[in-house]
Amino acid sequence: MRPAGETLSEPEREHFCDLLDAVAANQDREAYSELFAYYAPRLKSYLVRLGADPGSAEEIAQDVMVTVWRKASLFDRTQASVSTWIFRIARNRRIDVYRRAKKPALDPEEPMILPAGVEAPDARVDALDDEVRVREALKDLPEEQLSMLKLAFYEGLSHREIADRLDVPLGTVKSRIRLAFVKMKSRLADE
Amino acid sequence: MIRIENGPHLDDESRAMLASGRANAAVALFVDTLMDVRGVDERLGERLSGAMLEAEAPAAMRDDALARALAAIDAPAAPESAAKRRPKRSGQKAWPELIRLPPRLQDAIREAERDAGWKSIGFGIQSLAIRKADGVTAEVMRIPPGARTPVHTHRGREYTLCLVGGFSDARGSYGPGDLSFADPNVTHQPIADEDGPCYVLALTEAGLQLTGVMGVVQKLLGL
């Protein structure tokens, strides 16, 4: 089994794309089994991290993997890696986790869509390059920034919740996340 | 109605809430569609999370986990297949323009057709609620060529994204990818362009307050 903390290499990621395409094209069970062996245990960890008890996490991970089979034909490797695609399916099940863990989804109290801003939207289409660069950039981030990005983007904590959890001022959370995000973004804009 | 030209631009926290799935589900669907229609790749947050999922320490699944998943795949989900048959099959529309919508929205439309189905809301306009969460609704509307929508004001904020075709109101015209914003101070009557049906995705807070005759009918019918 692969050690925790490591992301997939580029050839491995490509291999997983092939597997998912095989599931879509030929209902290939062997390919599916390989995907299941890799993703199901990680999904379970992710769901536990969100607050699900191990039993529910197992059930939801199962369910996400069944959805992976059913929706395989919607996967498009030019848009996202298999991990990003599966993450999206899992994340859409979060609401179930919250219902069980009694943690509310956040309301859009403030308009999320701002009419104007200083930061230009990222209009790149080169999704696969982005997947590579994201992983490279993650390795270079200082631990304090990485852990905050993880709490915000992966676990979905608000800035206030992160400040409380790590016992640092709200302003520090905001500035570190901004710094990390800008750094990641500039990495993607390079080359 | 304010026309929103650029962006959208998300602040860091909103971006993270959207990427992580913590955001309001109706808002998330709207923003995803907006990105798709405009060809904007704002998926850095999701890519980050995909990479973090890879780095996750695996938690052992039950020994029979894979066998159970395969069994679930083989047995075309008993409760679901029954649920699928119950609502009228006719719920699925075959309008040719649907394939011009972003694939992820098409997928959501097919799901919503199984659940709620399209509703006629008068003037030939059809509406399909895609997602409702905490008083916010995301719905797709199909407006026939040249149709006049009822004059209406808004109880809360409303974002309207033009998906296919176009519409205009007293303040301007909107085409695919254009986004308009209205709040309770705005009363307007958008009219669809003549050259084809117009599809929009509307995100509304607490529903529209209709002022014309149709408004009364709608209230009476509880629509």
Q: State the Cα–Cα distance between residues B69 and A62, nearest whole angstrom.
A: 6
Would residue A60 count as lying in a domain? yes
CA atoms of B219 and B48, how far apart (whole Å): 45
The last residue of a domain, from among A33, A66, A101: A101
User: Is A1 a member of any domain?
Assistant: no
Per-residue pLDDT at A87: 94
**Residue B39 falls in which region: left (phi positive, over 0), alpha (psi -120 to 50) or beta:** left
pLDDT for res A109: 40
∠ at Cα B107 (B102, B111), nearest 5°?
145
Token pair, residue A46, equals 């992710």
User: What's A159's domain CATH number?
Assistant: 1.10.10.10
d(CA A75, CA A78): 9
Please name the residue of chain A whose CA is at the shortest distance from the CA of residue B48: A134
In tens, the pLDDT along A80-135 reads 899 999 998 998 787 666 655 555 554 434 334 443 333 344 444 467 788 888 88
The values of phi and psi at residue B174, to 5°, are -130, 135
In a domain? residue A107: no
Residue B17 DSSP one-character state: H
Q: What's the pLDDT score for residue A100?
A: 55
Give the pLDDT confidence score for residue A119 in this predicted structure: 36
Both A95 and A135 in a single domain? no
State both tokens at A58. Answer: 């197992």
For A98, name the nearest residue in chain B, comparing CA atoms only.
B22
ipTM of the complex: 0.84
Contacts of B41 in chain A (CB under 8 A): 122-125, 127, 130
In whole angstroms, what is the distance from residue A12 CA to residue B64 CA?
A: 26
pLDDT per residue as tens digits for the range A106-120: 443 433 444 333 334
Q: Are A80 and A163 members of one domain?
A: no
Q: What pLDDT score was predicted for residue A18?
A: 97
Residue A36's domain comprises 10-101
User: From the first residue on, what is the mean pLDDT of each consecutive set of 10 residues in chain B (223 residues)?
Assistant: 49 77 80 77 81 93 96 71 47 85 89 88 90 85 89 74 90 84 77 93 70 40 36
Q: What is the CATH number of the domain that holds A77?
A: 1.10.1740.10
Contact B142, B125 (CB under 8 A): yes
Please give the distance of CA A130 from its chain centroid, rounded to a whole number: 14
Residues A93 and A133 reside in one and the same domain: no
Is A122 part of any domain? no
As a residue count, chain A comes to 191
**C-alpha A164: how far from its chain's center?**
23
**Contact check, Cβ <8 Å, B54/A184:** no
Kindly indicate whether the domain formed by B7-223 is annotated with CATH number 2.102.10.10: no
- Is position A174 within any domain? yes
Using a CB-CB distance cutoff of 8 angstroms, which residues of chain A are in contact with residue B39?
123, 125
A134 and A89, same structural domain?
A: no
- Token reading at B67: 């066998």
Which segments of chain A have a pLDDT < 50?
1, 106-125, 191
Structural domains of chain A, count: 2
What's phi and psi for B158, nearest 5 deg?
-140, 125
Instruction: Measure in Å the smallest separation between the Cα of B148 and chain A Cα atoms.
Output: 27
Give dist(CA B202, CA B167) in Å, integer: 13
Q: Is B149 exposed, middle or buried (0-12, 13-18, 19+ CB in 10 A)?
A: buried
Query: What phi and psi values does residue A169 have, to the nearest 5 degrees?
Result: -65, 150
| CB-based contact B7 A121, cutoff 8 Å | yes
